[in-house]
Structures are given as structure tokens and as C-alpha cells.
Structure 1
Amino acid sequence: MIKVAMTSVFVDDVAKAHAFYTTVLGFETRTRMDLGEGTLFLTVGAPEGAQPELQLLLEPGQGPIAEPYRTALYEAGIPCIVFSVDDIGAQYERLRGLGVRFTHPPQEQGPVLAAVLDDTVGNLVQLVQPRT
């Protein structure tokens, strides 16, 4: 069996991304290393009990590969990552209450309800909940 252990999210500002993903989205810091010259190696993961093996590597999004890729996704309205939630309505209201900007509220998209938010560091993030 193969499982995803870590995936990268390219961001404008690693420290700001860390604050958003932990404080607003509720992830936990898993790894934090200062590599010098203002460079951080940060990973976050879901809170205890929710996919403990999966980590997001918050990576600097500048550079000849990452920046055009991230910019093209954002401008096309394509999320860089999708998170599954149990109650999209509750998450939508909670996050809006924290000032999170959504590009679209929860709506039906085939077999799921989906909403897309701006993570404040150059990405769109999709939340999905299976329709029942």
C-alpha cells in the first residue's frame, strides 16, 4: 500500500502561511527548522486523530518553476489543494467569521458540496463534503 506522507504547498510567505494554516485552518506544526538567511522549513498536519501521517510542506513559492505554476493556478481559479470536511456549512461560517475570503460559497459540484477560499499566501484551497 502506498500512502501520501507529505505534499508541498508553494506560498508567498512561509511564516504567514504557517500562521494561516495553524491559527485559522487548525493544523498543527509538525516540523520547524530555521535554515538561515530567513529560510524556514515548516510542515503542518491535521489535528490529532485526523490523518496523523499526512503533512503539508509550506514551501517558498518564488522561483522559475513554482511562481508561474502557482500564479497560473490562482488566476485560473484552480485550487492547489483540496481538504475534506465533515460539515462544509459550519466550516464556511466559522472561517468567514475569522475573516477568510471565499471565491465561492458552498455549492453542489457533482457528488460533493464544495467551497473555495483564498489562503492569503497566493493559493486557492477547496473544501469538499460528500453529498448525502
Structure 2
Amino acid sequence: MRIHLTSVFVDDQDKALRFYTDVLGFTKKTDVPLGADRWLTVVASEDPEGTELLLEPDGHPAVKPFTSALVEDGIPAAAFAVDDVRAEFDRLRGLGVRFTQEPLTTGPVTTAVLDDTCGNLIQLVHSA
């Protein structure tokens, strides 16, 4: 068994697609119209057959209170592995990305947390 698909709720699919592809560097995999919304997924550019991330519309009434509470408490909705947290932090900050946690090393793990502009905090993580 392996993870095939996971999702983050987003307040605007077009804005999320731009952020996740143009800024974070993911590649669009699937884009299927579903009424007012889309089945919209991205994948890691270096692993096009890997786990898909669904940029899921936040229209369900339970989503906004849930995601708002996570952001208020500083809890990331997802974690993305990177080779060098400090280098990604510097690159993304140079692109105007807002971080809620600068790189922090705790034992063998380094993390940073960014705002994806679509209603989520995302953790960058590297384990030594």
C-alpha cells in the first residue's frame, strides 16, 4: 500500500495552481472541469508519476472553520520534503513567500513553515 493522492483545501484553485507550480515548482498533472470547480492535481516535477496533491476547493461548510483554526494555531496542513530547508527558504523568500517559521533545526530535522496564500500553512522539512 502507498499514498496515491492527498489534498489541501484551497480558497481559489487558479491562485493555488499558480502558487504551487510557479512558486513551489510542482507540475500540473490533472485538470478536469467539475461544474464550477475542477479536479486539479499537481505532482513533484522530479516525480511525475508520484503522489498527487489535489488542490481541493474549500466550499464545504466545515472546511473554513477547520483550516482557519489550523492557521491560527500554526499547524501546517501538509509537509513537503526538500533537500535543503535553508536554500528553499532563501529561494522562496526571494520570490515574496511569507514564512510563519524560519528554518529551525531540532535534532536531525530542519523545518520551516510558509503561507501558501490559499488558506494553508505548509511545512518544509529535511531529515538528516
Q: TM-score under structure 2 normalisation?
A: 0.94
Written as runs of structure 1 = structure 2, the 5 A alignment for 1:51-62 is 52-62=49-59
Structure 2 equivalent of residue 125 of structure 1 = 122
Determine helix, strand or coil for the equivalent of 1:22.
helix
2:112 counterpart (98, 112, 115): 115
Identity of paired residues, percent? 53
After TM superposition, the structure 1 = structure 2 runs for residues 24-35 of structure 1, keeping only pairs within 5 Å, are 24-35=23-34
Runs of 4+ in 1 over 4 A off after TM superposition: none
CA–CA separation in structure 2 for the residues paired with 1:40 and 1:78? 26
CA deviation string 1:69-101 (max 9, x = no partner): 111111110000001110111111100010000
1:1-132 equivalence runs, <5 A: 2-36=1-35, 38-48=36-46, 50=47, 52-131=49-128
Deviation string, structure 1 residues 35-80 (Cα, Å, up to 9, x no partner) = 23x31220000013x3732000001113222222111111110000
Any gaps of 5 or more consecutive residues in structure 2? none
Q: Distance in 2 between matches of 1:111 and 1:59?
A: 32
Q: Which amino acid aligns with 2:22?
A: T
**Partners in 2 of 1:67 and 1:118 — Cα distance?**
16
Change (3 A) 1:39 1:122: same
CA distance in 2, matches of 1:109, 1:80: 20
CA distance in 2, matches of 1:51, 1:31: 11
TM-score, normalisation: structure 1: 0.91
Preserved CA contact (<8 Å) 1:61 1:70: no
Query: What residue ranges of structure 1 are gaps of 5+ in the alignment?
Result: none
RMSD: 1.3
How many residues are aligned here? 128
